Amino acid sequence: MGFVVPEEFEFSSFDGTQVQAWIMRGQGCRSDRKCPLILSIHGGPHGTFGWSFNANFQAYAARMRGQLQLVLIGKTLLPIPKHPRIHHLGFLTDRQKFDAMAAAAVLIMPSYFESLSMVALEAWALGKPVLANGRCDVLKGQAIRSNAGLYYESYGEFAEALDAIVSTPSLAQTLGRNGAAYFTRHYAWPVIERKYLETLDRIAREGPASRPMDPLPGFFARRRSELPAARNVLSRIPSGPSLS
């Protein structure tokens, strides 16, 4: 299986800025025909996404003979191989980003390190399914709790999950509807505002703490030999994706 090569091009942003972009075209996709689109947005250095940021997409594009296009959004620090099915659009405005999401068949979120994936929430708000990196506990937990996305931990899982979404319209539509409902239930502005107001009201009702905080231990107290090692303390903390 040979890797595909991204095609590089430039386009003008809303303010006239020239934006560098790449696209990966699948075998059988011609420039005179419309092709399905896979969108990937990244907001930081490629190192936060791992080398699979390129390898998975290239391998998938080389393997498939369909019409899928991969669109990448965000700044890049590492070179993206040229291929007619890979489009790198660079940094976009919010409006341009949401337009790209609305046109996509699925959002791919390959990051290993997320505390809360804003871009996944944005895709779900638009009713789009998400394919997430299952090695990130946050993304995996979000996909499971929302029932609005699939996740992968290897190239094989990536390819099969992507095939399932793009080749089964009923699955993609169900995931998208679940995502929109999940966003409305937990992250729509009225919900966020209510949670903040309830928290502030509770703090106001409870008043100051009933007892002062214990003083912080000193230098020698923190180094007592009977205290467990930090790694042992951390090993007892629950880990893995949050499922509730």
What would the pLDDT profile of 217-230 be if each residue is shown by its tens digit? 888 887 777 777 88
Sequence-separated (6 or more) residues with CB below 8 Å from residue 147: 175, 178, 182
Sequence-separated (6 or more) residues with CB below 8 Å from residue 149: 120, 124, 129, 130, 131, 132, 142, 143, 175, 179
User: 145: exposed, middle or buried (C-beta count within 10 Å: 0-12, 13-18, 19+)?
Assistant: middle
> Domains (ranges, CATH) in the chain?
7-189 (3.40.50.2000)
Report which secondary-structure segment, H or E, holds 18.
Answer: strand 18-25
Q: What is the pLDDT of residue 55?
A: 61
Q: What is the pLDDT of residue 30?
A: 62
Quick check: 114 and 49 in contact, CB under 8 A?
no
Residue 37, strand partner residues: 69
Q: What is the pLDDT of residue 217?
A: 83
Q: What is the pLDDT of residue 112?
A: 87
Low-confidence ranges of the chain (pLDDT < 70): 1-9, 13-14, 19-67, 209-210
